[in-house]
Amino acid sequence: MTAKVVVTGFEPWGTNVENPTLEVLKHLRASNDIDADLTTIQLPVESDKLAEITDRKLDEIKPDLWISLGLAPGSSVVAVERIAANVMDFTMPDNAGRQHGGEPVFKDGPDGRMSTLPVKTIARDLRESGVPAKISNSPSTYLCNQMMYTVLHLIEKKGMNTRAGFIHVPAHPALVAKQDYPLTEMPSMSTELVAKAVKAAIRISLETQDDIKVPTRND
């Protein structure tokens, strides 16, 4: 049976006139080398909508794997997130003008939820294939963290076997080119290379049952 995979990206937010995660979704949809039934979802940067969308799509698709993507301006590597915190503490309003100041993502949830992806295997294999990558232990406290916590929380509540997690990606060159100095010097990574990383993360997550147990690098 073909595995069902969901990959999500966010619309532009803040001062970012583009979001490379949407370009990655386009690249994935155009690919013919993903051995899965792929669904891509563009998410709004609106905190009040994430839970409803995630809840509905989990019920509709019943995916085997869910990977959400987010932009990390200034990062030079693909960051595979390990843990999401049960807190929304926004440094800026979302696109609907909502700015949380420390509220929980879910009042009935634990303080943190761990990714169920094989994060160490993904990061190691990406580096070995020539993609700069690391494990990250904080997806911040903005909507990326909210999204990661939300999908993990709802999967457990529904008793689903879906594996899920979050990956942060650098800006792509087109976004950096639109910035004023000194932001024009921020790192970037091509959409093609990020898409390669996401495809690898999909394959590894579907093929790897148990993550490697080795001491972490200086990630």
Q: Which is catalytic among the residues 100, 153, 168, 172?
A: 168
Catalytic residue at 27? no
- Cα maximum dimension of the chain: 51
Written in H, E and C, the secondary structure of 76-141 is CCEEEECEEECCEECCCCCCCCCCCEEECCCCCCCCEEECCCCHHHHHHHHHHCCCCEEEECCCCC
Is pLDDT above 80 for 15?
A: no
The C-alpha angle 3, 206, 10, rounded to 5 degrees, equals 80
Give pTM, 2 decimals: 0.96
Q: Cα 209–204–187 angle (5° rounding)? A: 135
Q: pLDDT tens for residues 85-127? A: 999 999 999 999 999 999 999 999 999 999 999 999 999 999 9
Report pLDDT digits (tens) over 39-75: 999 999 999 999 999 999 999 999 999 999 999 999 9
> What average pLDDT does the chain have?
95
**List 23, 100, 144, 172, catalytic entry:** 144
Q: At 171, list the tokens.
A: 């800006």
**What is the model's pLDDT at position 64?**
98
CA-based nearest residue to 205, from 166, 157, 152:
166
pLDDT at 180 over 90: no
**Annotated active-site residue in 81, 100, 153, 172:** 81
52 a catalytic residue: no
Q: What is residue 218's predicted lDDT score, i.e. its pLDDT?
A: 58
Radius of gyration of the chain (CA): 16
60 is catalytic: no
Spatial separation of the C-alpha atoms in residues 216 and 136, rounded to whole Å: 11
CA distance 32 to 117: 23
- Mean per-residue pLDDT, 11-24: 90
Domain 4-207 has CATH 3.40.630.20: yes
Q: How confident is the model at residue 217 (pLDDT cuts 50, 70, 90)?
A: low
